[in-house]
C-alpha cells in the first residue's frame, strides 16, 4: 500500500515482541502504527524504538491523550519530539491555554513536528454518560464545540467518532485533520465502541485517517484482515 492508506493500526499490548511482530507483519498493508498509553507506560520511548526501528519511516501515532496544566503538557510534547511521532493527542477539555501550549511545543519539532490532535468525546461515551459527569450537552454538540475550540487554539485536528465526521468537516474546513476510531467493518465485532461506522462509510463522510485495532489485531490473520479492509476502501 502507499502512503495514501488512511488506516492507522492500533496495537494495544504491553509486550514489545507482540507489538513488533504485528507492526512488521502489517508493513505495507496499513498507513501507520498507533501506540497508546498501555504500551507507553509499560515500555516507554525505548519500547517505541524497538517496535518501529531506529530508522523507521512508518508514520507513528503516539496516543497518550495528555491532560494536565499547560506547562506540563507542553513538556510532555517536547519530551516526545525525539521519537518523531506523526501525530500526538491531548484532551481538548484541558482548555485553551493547554491546547495552545501543546501546539507551540510541537512547533519546536520543525518540519518533523507532530500534528497535535484534540480528543473530544471518547467513543465509549454516549449522551447518558455525559449526563452522568455533569455535561448536559448532547455528544454531537459537545464534540463540535470542542473541535471548533481546538481549531481556534492552533491544533491540527481532532479525534472524533464516525458519527461526527460530516458535521466537523463542515464546521472546521477541508484541511482540519479528523482521526477517527470506532471503525468496525461489517464482519467485525462491535466490542465496547458505541458510535461506530464501517471504514468506507467513515471515509465517505470526510475522515482523514482511520484508527482500527481489534478488527485487525485480534484476527487469526491480521494481514488478511488488513487486506480485506483495504479492499473495502478500494486500495
Active-site residues: which are they?
65
Helix segments in the chain, DSSP class H: 16-25, 37-52, 70-80, 96-107, 127-132, 139-152, 165-172, 199-205, 214-217, 222-232
Residue matched to cell numbers 515482541: 17
Q: What are phi and psi of 15, to 5 degrees?
A: -95, 125
What is the CB neighbour count within 10 angstroms for residue 150?
Answer: 26
Q: How far from the centroid of its chain's Cα atoms is residue 82's Cα? A: 19
Closest by alpha carbon to 222, among 9, 53, 63? 9
Amino acid at each position: 500500500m502507499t502512503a495514501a492508506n488512511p488506516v492507522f493500526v492500533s496495537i494495544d499490548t504491553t509486550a514489545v515482541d507482540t507489538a513488533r511482530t504485528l507492526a512488521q507483519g502489517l508493513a505495507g498493508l496499513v498507513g501507520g502504527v498507533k501506540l497508546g498509553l498501555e504500551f507507553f507506560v509499560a515500555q516507554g520511548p525505548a519500547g517505541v524504538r524497538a517496535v518501529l526501528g531506529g530508522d523507521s519511516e512508518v508514520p507513528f501515532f503516539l496516543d497518550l491523550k495528555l491532560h494536565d496544566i499547560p506547562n506540563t503538557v507542553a513538556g510532555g510534547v517536547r519530551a516526545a519530539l525525539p521519537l518523531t511521532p506523526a501525530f500526538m493527542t491531548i484532551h481538548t477539555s484541558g482548555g485553551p491555554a493547554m491546547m495552545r501550549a501543546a501546539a507551540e511545543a510541537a512547533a519546536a519539532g520543525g518540519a518533523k513536528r507532530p500534528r497535535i490532535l484534540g480528543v473530544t468525546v471518547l467513543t465509549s461515551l454516549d449522551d447518558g454518560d455525559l449526563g452522568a459527569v455533569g455535561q448536559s450537552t448532547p455528544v454531537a454538540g459537545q464534540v463540535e464545540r470542542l473541535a471548533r475550540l481546538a481549531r481556534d487554539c492552533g491544533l491540527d485536528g481532532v479525534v472524533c467518532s464516525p458519527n461526527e465526521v460530516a458535521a466537523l468537516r463542515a464546521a472546521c474546513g477541508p484541511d482540519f485533520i479528523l482521526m477517527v476510531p470506532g471503525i468496525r467493518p461489517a464482519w467485525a465485532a462491535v466490542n465496547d465502541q458505541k458510535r461506530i461506522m464501517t471504514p468506507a462509510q467513515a471515509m465517505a463522510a470526510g475522515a482523514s485517517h482511520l484508527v482500527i485495532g481489534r478488527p485487525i489485531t485480534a484476527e487469526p490473520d491480521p494481514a488478511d484482515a488488513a487486506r480485506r479492509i483495504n479492499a473495502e476502501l478500494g486500495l
